Amino acid sequence: AQKVTQAQTEISVVEKEDVTLDCVYETRDTTYYLFWYKQPPSGELVFLIRRNSFDEQNEISGRYSWNFQKSTSSFNFTITASQVVDSAVYFCALRERSGAGSYQLTFGKGTKLSVIP
Amino acid sequence: NAGVTQTPKFRVLKTGQSMTLLCAQDMNHEYMYWYRQDPGMGLRLIHYSVGEGTTAKGEVPDGYNVSRLKKQNFLLGLESAAPSQTSVYFCASSYSPPASEQYFGPGTRLTVT
């Protein structure tokens, strides 16, 4: 089973529409961290947000918001009033303690968002 | 600060050739990582290092070797390249996990023919 599931492979929206990217994770740890990264067409990965398992407060940053729900093991990402510059691949990632005692980051397969002008 | 840099940006190899990818970071991070990104697969961890002189295997280490002789550098080697190693390789660095985010380099696109 995948530890991080991003069920939406590709999404297309028209500019100014709202869009939600889903992320479902699986872990047995009580302490873990969740991340979202953005990969624009230029290719680099840009960190967007980090959330730890003890903080279920939703976060808003400008047009971006994140909804963390431990009860459903989900960490969804919403873009309000989407813009063409939001076109990118978005990755959700989980950091938990590995069997060797270190903390490894496991990425989902990504959701490609295309915002059409 | 340059952040995380990778050399080279592009490379084409023939099957059986060897090469080394260089990653450098100027943020004094203890941890460094090598990932590969393949279409539809997300990023998968190849090897990582928790400090100078240390390395450890990740999810997909076969066919790769790494070295961390200096804190700021992390080298990824392919001893005998195979077409299955055609991928985009990303280096990343971070402060000690688990909370700290990873900073990524721009990537190296490797094609093995």
Predicted confidence (pLDDT) per residue in A18-71, tens digit? 999 999 999 988 889 999 999 999 999 999 999 989 888 888 889 999 999 999
Q: Does residue A100 carry a pLDDT above 80?
A: no
pLDDT attached to residue A45: 94
State the Cα–Cα distance between residues B27 and B44, nearest whole angstrom.
23
- Window from A58-62, B46-50, B77-81 with minimum mean pLDDT: A58-62
More confident residue, B44 or A57: B44
A104: nearest CB among B58, B105, B106: B58
Residue B99: which residues within 8 A CB-CB, separation 6 or more? A33, A50, A52
Question: A58: which 2 tokens?
Answer: 């939703």
Structural contact between residues B56 and A100, judged by C-beta atoms closer than 8 angstroms: yes
Give the confidence band of B62 by pLDDT, cuts at 50, 70, 90: very high
AA identity, residue B69 = L
- Residue B71 CB-density burial (10 A; 0-12 exposed, 13-18 middle, 19+ buried): middle
Chain B residues with CB inside 8 Å of A4's CB? Answer: 42
Question: A89: which 2 tokens?
Answer: 């691949």
pLDDT attached to residue B97: 78
pLDDT attached to residue A101: 60
pLDDT attached to residue A61: 87
Chain A residues with CB inside 8 Å of B48's CB? Answer: 102, 104
Chain B residues with CB inside 8 Å of A110's CB? Answer: 42
A103: nearest CB among B97, B103, B106: B97
Q: Where are the alpha helices (DSSP H) in chain A?
A: none
Q: Does residue B74 carry a pLDDT above 80?
A: yes
**Apex A68 CA angle, A64 and A70, nearest 5:** 170
Q: Does residue A99 carry a pLDDT above 80?
A: no
End-to-end CA, chain B: 36
Cβ contact (<8 Å) for B102 and A105?
Answer: yes
Average confidence score pLDDT of chain B: 94
Q: Does residue A103 carry a pLDDT above 70?
A: yes
State the Cα–Cα distance between residues A93 and A50, nearest whole angstrom.
9
